[in-house]
Structure 1
Amino acid sequence: MDIVDAVRQAAHGMPTAAQSEAGFRDAVSAHALPSGTVPARMSEDMKDSLSAREKDILRLYAQRLTTDEIAARLGIAKGSVFTYVHRAADKLGVTSRKEVLETCARYDLL
């Protein structure tokens, strides 16, 4: 199971294979986004706001590639990878790559 699948399961309240029901609740509470960070429902405009390149890069991060590997695979500069992630974070109203990936998994944006 990759991180995207694990986050999807957590967002739907389902325990992962490696977690007991009690451990699952503790893990979700410990890693939950602060209230207000991500809306309970995402508007269609927000869902469509990510560019194809932003989605490509986020998919590669979700597959656990490094920034250097993503840059090499796409033939772009490492700084460009960071720029695309930063733009995606701004569009989704979050501040970190981790939050971008969690939001994408939660709303099935990739």
Structure 2
Amino acid sequence: VLRQLQTTLILGIVLGSFLFFTAGVWRGLQTGGILLDPVFGFVVGFSMFITINISGFVGTVVPMISKRLGFDPALTAGPFETAIQDVVSVTILLGLATMLLHFMV
């Protein structure tokens, strides 16, 4: 379990950093003002970091809970995790964007 969480932490850092620069440069070029828009890049990158870590945690815990409750982890984990990850990722992205952009801009 700990190894899985470490892997998702590293993956979140790498992909979040990549999206920080990609989204920041994309937004900066789109506005035509600066090369990098750090606020937009931070919101997108940090949202991805949080989403990946929560998804990794849910993906690790749900099969264990399913097994303890007597369900087949292979059957319950897939659809349940997908639904949770979709809702969580959209909520995090929109929530963080609203909160951070309100305070940063």
Taking structure 2 as the reference length, the TM-score comes to 0.32
Q: Of the two, which has the highest radius of gyration?
A: 2
More helix by share: 2
